[in-house]
Amino acid sequence: ACDSLRGGMGRSRNLIALAILVIASRAAADPTPSELQAARDLFDKAVADEDAGRWKDALDKMKRAGSVKMTPGIRFHIALAEEKSGQLVAALADYTAAEQAAKAEKNREVVDLVSEPLKSLRARVPVLTINVPDGAGTEVVLDGKALPVGLYG
């Protein structure tokens, strides 16, 4: 009887742990209304920084807004601020990510917005093809910064 009770308690603990993980992942994935409003406010302030040519300030605010909920539009603005700040490789990566996310969400506005900057940056940014063997934990570092996986191969 004790063994079956222990087995039942173990299953109960496992179910409770699973429920906590599901709730925690849902909480991390779904920002609260106040978090979303704070992100919108940051976005608006970042656009004002863009209009004033304060690209580093805009970039910081856009990244903070994106930490609440990353959208193709926010990713586009991050790329724009990176480009204007001279971070061309990062901008190319983020424009590419914005394009992919926008296509996945069928967001035609962002797809149209990224086409010209992508074309321009692809012409300006030197290309080096790095063939990386498949394997977990492989990392490519350029100028001391890890490159996003989609940029090499």
pLDDT, position 20: 43
Instruction: Going residue by residue through the chain, which has 153 residues, state the pLDDT in tens, using 9 for 90 and above.
Output: 444 434 444 444 444 444 444 444 444 568 999 999 999 999 999 999 999 999 999 999 999 999 999 999 999 999 999 999 999 999 999 999 999 999 999 999 999 999 999 999 999 998 777 777 776 677 888 888 887 776 665
pLDDT, position 144: 87
pLDDT, position 98: 96
pLDDT, position 152: 65
pLDDT, position 28: 53
- Residue 75 tokens read as 């990713």
pLDDT, position 114: 96
pTM, whole model, 2 decimals? 0.69
